[in-house]
């Protein structure tokens, strides 16, 4: 029955519901009503997942007003027990407690009345538990929540390159400054550079390899990896050291960036 649910509810491009869950934690999925201690009172909630790309800059204020929020299609949303916000998910009570957002960025789920953890993975091809944002919510009736992801691409303020001549390797040290206002989740840097032969390549730390120009043009903006397990205060200066298995003659500072996100959870309405 679970296998049938997976194929009916989740598109094949997502790799199947079990693939998305395989690294998230110890999860028990129930196809029907279940009882853990006392059966919870069940209600329905609507979750909207939205995103805004704030572009490139060396310095953001963090309260920019020029942006457009767009719906996120295919985001994985889970209703979890309250402890999941600090310890990671331990169970899902029913199959209706998770789903993917539609073209409008929305999904309707069952949820127990009271306190629980809402978990959202806006890019579920990243299956690491660190890629799931967590927020504590409280529900008394049918409610709608909006989870807004604001992506900032920080250009480096400082660049230092140390080339090891004995091996085709460059140790790149990058200094960044987080947007001043708010708190932020930090991701994996993307570095664009010239080789000594004049070729342009992109190195993404999350992929762990350099990409040639044609592939780099498709992957420069796409699918940044963000770690949602810890957030950092605005204005913080952070340093990233990356080992590139290649000789980098020149780092392009305006195309090299560190992705960071500010996430806002809003309750839109109660019914």
Q: How far apart are CA 269 and CA 261, in angstroms?
A: 25
Q: How far apart are CA 197 and CA 204, in angstroms?
A: 20
DSSP code for 123 = S
The tens digit of pLDDT for each residue in 44-61 reads 999 999 999 999 999 999
Q: According to the model, what pLDDT value does residue 72 have?
A: 97
The tens digit of pLDDT for each residue in 230-261 reads 999 999 999 999 998 888 879 999 999 999 99
Contact 113, 42 (CB under 8 A): yes
Q: According to the model, what pLDDT value does residue 27 have?
A: 53
Q: According to the model, what pLDDT value does residue 245 have?
A: 85
Q: According to the model, what pLDDT value does residue 51 have?
A: 97
Check whether 89 has a pLDDT greater than 60: no
What tokens appear for 181 in the block? 């206002």
Tell me the mean pLDDT in the region 71-99: 75
Q: According to the model, what pLDDT value does residue 73 have?
A: 96
H helix runs in the chain, sequence order: 2-9, 17-21, 84-87, 213-219
Tell me, yes or no, if the pTM score tops 0.75.
Answer: yes
Check whether 196 has a pLDDT greater than 60: yes
Check whether 153 has a pLDDT greater than 90: yes
Residue 251 vs residue 83, higher pLDDT: 251
Q: According to the model, what pLDDT value does residue 30 have?
A: 53
Strand partners, 43: 111
The tens digit of pLDDT for each residue in 30-46 reads 544 444 455 678 899 99
Give CA separation, 113 vs 24, 38, 80, 82, 138, in Å: 24, 13, 12, 12, 7
Q: What percent of the chain has pLDDT over 70?
A: 78
> DSSP letter string over 148-207?
EEEEEEEPPSEEEEEEETTTTEEEEEEEEE--SSSEEEEE--EEEEE-TTS-EEEEETTT
Check whether 2 has a pLDDT greater than 70: no
Contact 80, 116 (CB under 8 A): yes
DSSP code for 39 = P
User: Cβ–Cβ contacts within 10 Å for residue 190, how many?
Assistant: 26
Q: How does residue 25 score in pLDDT terms, banded at 50, 70 and 90?
A: low
- Token look-up 């963000």 returns 226
């Amino acid at each position: 029955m679970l296998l049938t649910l997976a194929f009916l509810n989740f598109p094949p491009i997502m790799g199947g519901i079990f693939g998305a869950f395989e690294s998230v934690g110890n999860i028990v999925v129930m196809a029907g009503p279940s009882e853990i201690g006392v059966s919870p009172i069940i209600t329905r909630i609507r979750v909207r997942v939205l995103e805004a790309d704030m572009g490139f800059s060396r310095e953001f204020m963090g309260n920019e007003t020029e942006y457009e929020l767009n719906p996120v299609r295919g985001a994985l949303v889970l209703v979890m027990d309250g402890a999941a916000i600090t310890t990671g998910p331990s169970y899902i009570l029913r199959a209706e407690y998770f789903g993917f957002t539609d073209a409008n960025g929305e999904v309707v789920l069952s949820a127990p009345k009271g306190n629980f953890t809402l978990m959202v993975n806006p890019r579920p091809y990243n299956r690491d538990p660190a890629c799931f944002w967590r927020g504590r919510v409280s529900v008394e009736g049918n409610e709608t929540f909006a989870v807004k992801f604001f992506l900032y691409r920080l250009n480096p303020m400082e660049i230092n390159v140390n080339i090891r001549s004995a091996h085709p390797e460059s140790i790149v040290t990058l200094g960044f400054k987080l947007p001043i206002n708010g708190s932020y989740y930090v991701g994996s840097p993307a570095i664009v550079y010239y080789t000594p032969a004049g070729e342009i390549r992109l190195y993404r730390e999350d992929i762990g390899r350099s990409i040639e120009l044609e592939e780099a043009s498709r992957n420069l903006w796409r699918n940044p990896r963000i770690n949602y397990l810890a957030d950092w205060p605005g204005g913080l200066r952070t340093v990233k050291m990356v080992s590139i298995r290649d000789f980098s003659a020149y780092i392009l500072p305006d195309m090299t960036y560190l992705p960071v996100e500010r996430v806002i959870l809003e309750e839109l309405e109660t019914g």
